[in-house]
Chain A
Amino acid sequence: MPDLSPTRGLRLGVCGPVGTGKSSLIALLCRELAGRMSLAVVTNDIYTDEDARFLRASGVLAPERIRAVETGACPHTAIRDDITANLLTVEELEEEFAPDLVLIESGGDNLTATFSPALVDTQVFVLDIAGGGDVARKGGPGIERADLLVINKTDLAPHVGVDRDRMVADAEAARDGRTVIPLSRTDLDSVAALTAWVTAEVVRHRAGDLVPTDPGPMAAHTHGHTHDHDHDHPAA
């Protein structure tokens, strides 16, 4: 049973392809938020605890608040279908530290991997601008429907021949108005935008206004097919 208790903290998932900057983003959030709220981190890795060790070494959080979950080379399974190992670890951290925010990093996977809403309340999909300007347009559940899309390492844009503003505009179009944050650790305004978004999610969760939603794997809901579930349609 998902723990729906409003007293537990927000569970925030961070996913996206390999090397796009998930661990760095989590380290950044820990650095920015640790003074303001109680935090814990769960990492999922292909090679178990690489990410946990990176985060512990970065010194942004007490080492016992960072735990690694083994995925048996199934990073996708561990965050989406059999989320048990992750849930047990999150629950363990919640029991020990009662954190306001638990950050869960997925093992770097392909474009289709997103978190189950039974594991996280809200999720961030991270893309690397150096992965090419076309990626945002290609779409996929994470890009199109994660609660937040981060286009990371914007400082690299001029070096890799990507038009940052164009890529952000493409992403915004693919996302139907959902939030996109272009991020670079060297751009303090972008860092502030990210922390503001996360803080707002924590507040929304506390107020009971955050309903976890699944970004995938199906295509976006469109009208015009037969419904087998109830919807309130405005009278024509």
Chain B
Amino acid sequence: MDHVPSDLLLMLLADARLPVAGHTQSAGLEGAVQHGLTGADVPLYISARLATTVRVEAGTAVVALHHLTHALPLEPVVAAWAARTPSHALRRASRMQGRALSRLTTRLWPDEEPVRRVSGLDGCPRAVALAGAAAAAGLEAVALARLVGYDDVQTVASASLKLLPLDPAETTAWVHGALPAVAGAAAALAGLTDPRDIPATAAPQTEVWAQAHAHSTRRLFSA
């Protein structure tokens, strides 16, 4: 294929229209709302995720990208991610999303070694699958980390339109307002290469909500 500028590939991967079952995800928002979170709290919820869960996810993605581009094994990255994601429900949801993403990237980049390695990984989490896509697309670590943060914020914002409906210009203003924090987190994490350095910043409250959510019978979202 002719060379494709990496910003176009980044747009492709960040697009909500990417068929990876994104509409089934709320980034934990539904579990939080079931426990009393209100519309006014959502911007705080977004910042809290950027300081906690998102750092685990983005750190994992960045380290996985390094391992993919340096012929290092992925298993220690997956193990480090799992150790930092105590909720079984969240690990399960991430692995489901990883499969969805692998399914797509295998179609887009069938001959790319990183994509093949990722799709051959049993129970590949989303962050690692995303690293496979980033490697195939030639994205820089910092772009990958931004993608992880941006996607998390957008997932919360769009799920909030289903759960706590309000003017979508308002939720987009939240996303816009969170961009400096996304950029800051990405800059701080982009240089990671060692699985031991992935931040261990899971948020216990989010994890507890996620566990309870997975066992609730009337839910719209998978996680």
- A and B, one complex? yes
Is the beta-carbon distance between A72 and B217 smaller than 8 angstroms? Answer: no
Minimum distance in angstroms from B25 CB to a CB of chain A? 7
Interface residues of B (CB under 8 A from A): 19-26, 96, 99-100, 103-104, 107, 159, 162, 217-222
A53 to B100, CA, bound (A): 25
Which residue of B23, B96, B219 contacts A74 across the interface (Cβ within 8 Å)? Answer: B23
B219 touches A70 (CB 8 A): yes
- Across the interface, do B103 and A72 meet the contact criterion of CB distance under 8 Å? no
Docked complex Cα distance between A84 and B222 (Å): 13
- A77-B23, A84-B19, A84-B20 given as contacts; is B220 within 8 A of A70 (CB)? yes
**What are 26 A-B interface contacts by the 8 Å CB criterion?**
A47-B218, A48-B220, A49-B217, A50-B217, A50-B218, A69-B24, A70-B24, A70-B219, A70-B222, A71-B24, A73-B162, A73-B220, A74-B23, A77-B23, A78-B21, A82-B22, A82-B23, A83-B19, A84-B104, A85-B24, A85-B96, A85-B100, A87-B103, A88-B21, A88-B96, A88-B103
Nearest chain A CB to B94 CB, angstrom units: 14
B218 touches A72 (CB 8 A): no
State the A residues within 8 Å of B (CB).
1, 46-50, 53, 69-74, 77-78, 81-85, 87-88
Closest A residue by C-beta to B30: A72
Closest 4 CB pairs of A and B: A85-B21, A70-B222, A72-B23, A84-B21
Point out the residues of chain B lying under 8 angstroms from A70, CB to CB: 24, 219-222
Shortest CB-to-CB span from A67 to chain B, Å, is 12
Contact of B24 among A49, A53, A78, A81 (CB under 8 A): A78
Q: How far is the CB of A79 from the nearest CB of chain B, in Å?
A: 12
Nearest residue (CB) in B for A49 is B217
Q: Pick the most buried of A49, A72, A88: most chain B CB atoms within 10 A of its CB.
A: A72
Asked if A1 and B217 sit within 8 Å, CB to CB, the answer is no
- The 8 Å CB contact of A53, one of B20, B96, B217, B222, is B217
Min CB–CB distance A232 → chain B (angstroms): 31
- Give the Cβ gap from A88 to chain B, nearest Cβ, in Å: 6
Q: What secondary structure prevails in chain A residues at the interface with B?
A: loop
Chain A residues closer than 8 Å to B20, beta-carbon distance: 82, 84
A residues less than 8 Å from B103 (CB atoms): 84, 87-88
Contact between A72 and B220 (Cβ–Cβ < 8 Å)? yes
Q: Which of A50, A69, A71, A85 has the most CB of B within 10 A?
A: A85
The residues of B that contact A83 with a CB separation of less than 8 Å are: 19
Pairwise interchain contact B19-A72, C-beta atoms closer than 8 A: no
Bound: A176/B122 CA distance, A: 49
Contacts of A46 in B (CB 8 A): 220
Whether B162 pairs with A48 at a CB distance below 8 angstroms is: no
State in angstroms the CA–CA spacing of A143 and B105 once bound together: 36
Structural contact, A82 and B220, CB atoms closer than 8 A: no
A1 to B102, CA, bound (A): 12
* Nearest CB of chain A from residue B213's CB, rounded to whole Å: 11
Chain A residues near B22 (CB-CB < 8 A): 82
Residue in chain B with minimal CB distance to A89: B96
Which B residues are CB-close (under 8 A) to A84?
Answer: 19-21, 100, 103-104
Residues in chain A near residue B107, CB distance under 8 A: 1
Q: Using Cβ atoms and an 8 Å threshold, which residues of chain A touch B24?
A: 69-72, 78, 85
Interface centre among A1, A71, A84 (most CB of B within 10 A): A84
In whole Å, how far is B217's beta carbon from the nearest beta carbon of chain A? 6
Task: Please tell me if the beta carbons of A47 and B222 are within 8 angstroms of each other in the complex.
Answer: no
Residue of A nearest to B18 (CB): A82
CB-CB under 8 A from A78, the residues of chain B are 21, 23-24
Given A84-B103, A85-B100, decide whether A47 and B219 contact each other with a Cβ distance below 8 A: yes
